[in-house]
Amino acid sequence: MTMKNLYIPENYKNLLDVNETEKAIKLVKETFQQNLASELKLRRVTAPLFVLKGTGINDDLNGVERKVSFPIKDLEGAEAEVVNSLAKWKRMALAEHKIYEGYGIYTDMNAIRPDEVLDNIHSLYVDQWDWERVMRDGERNLIFLQYIVEKIYEVLKRTEYVICEHYPQIKPQLPSGIHFIQSEELLEKYPELSPKQREYEVAREYGAVFIIGIGGELSNGKPHDGRAPDYDDWNTPTNDRFNGLNGDIVLWNDILQDSFEISSMGIRVNKESLMDQLKIADCEERKDFDFHKMLLEDKLPQSVGGGIGQSRICMYYLRKAHIGEIQSSIWPAEMRNVCAQNDIQLI
């Protein structure tokens, strides 16, 4: 560590120069999204960069991040917000496109998050594949969620194989399977550690994990991590000990020697879990927003969905030390200088 928020791997060697990296980014993105669409039966749709404020469509993430907003001249100053993610919009799109059960949509989500702390894996610019799939009756359970996670993991392994075939200097690292663990089990296993430290330990042990139940209060009175109350279901009991039908896919990043979240996903709220979670989060007034009304009036399908970081998976496959080697963004001058001195080529 040579400056705040920047980790320089010991003896870091850039395996691809800038031109090779640009070609490899294209290969990763094309391979991954084609296989994701095939595996989950998704078709691509066009998504908004911004939505109207006050409709309840935009996502709150952890509930504290500022949104980038601006007035619209031709709408008498009505305010638009750059999306934080598209979890709610996608569910509305499923209804609008009349997507059949067992099928879904995916799209490119681009966002600006001005409150991010800039470091090796966080940028002001967010790019991810947002996907959403209509569920059948009887699929609102943990077994189905794990089934979807395993399908996504197969896509991750297939993409790694393609990249390693094209670039022999990159060696495969993903384990043969992904390990499932409840956030409460993780707390019980490492009671003295913080959530981030717990993720570090379990990712280092298994290489690829899906941490289940994120957003609800654990036995220590705290959630593993924050989640907005109106898209993922983090409160529904799955047995007599555990709650939550959502989670995160976390890999072990050998370059950064750290846990590496690449996806947040889950089964979405139904009417009952929406009202329960709004009450827990003390924001029951949201039920009057357009999105929430549609859900409470049975106008939206039950769905499962999530986001998968595009720059994050490119970082992982191409063995990069900084997200700025994958995407063009704004970085502190000192960070740029230190990176340049250590063969970390920020775009």
So which residues are the catalytic ones? Answer: 59, 113, 128, 248, 261, 264
Query: How is residue 159 written in tokens?
Result: 């993409």
Q: Is 143 exposed, middle or buried (0-12, 13-18, 19+ CB in 10 A)?
A: exposed
DSSP-derived letter for residue 268 is B
Query: How is residue 102 written in tokens?
Result: 């067992």
Farthest CA pair distance, the chain: 58
Q: How many CA atoms lie within 13 A of 80 on its CB side?
A: 13
What sign results for the dihedral spanned by CA atoms 278, 281, 285, 291?
A: negative
| DSSP symbols for 289-314 | SHHHHHHHTT-S--EEEEEEEHHHHH
What sign results for the dihedral spanned by CA atoms 110, 116, 122, 123?
A: positive
Pairwise CA distance, residues 162 & 205, whole Å: 25
Query: How is residue 5 written in tokens?
Result: 């928020």
Give the closest residue to 58 by CA, choosing from 287, 275, 291: 291
DSSP-derived letter for residue 248 is E
| 94, 301 Cβ separation under 8 angstroms | yes
| 345, 18 Cβ separation under 8 angstroms | yes
Pairwise CA distance, residues 296 & 271, whole Å: 5
**φ, ψ of residue 7 in degrees (nearest 5):** -110, 125
**φ, ψ of residue 213 in degrees (nearest 5):** 85, 70
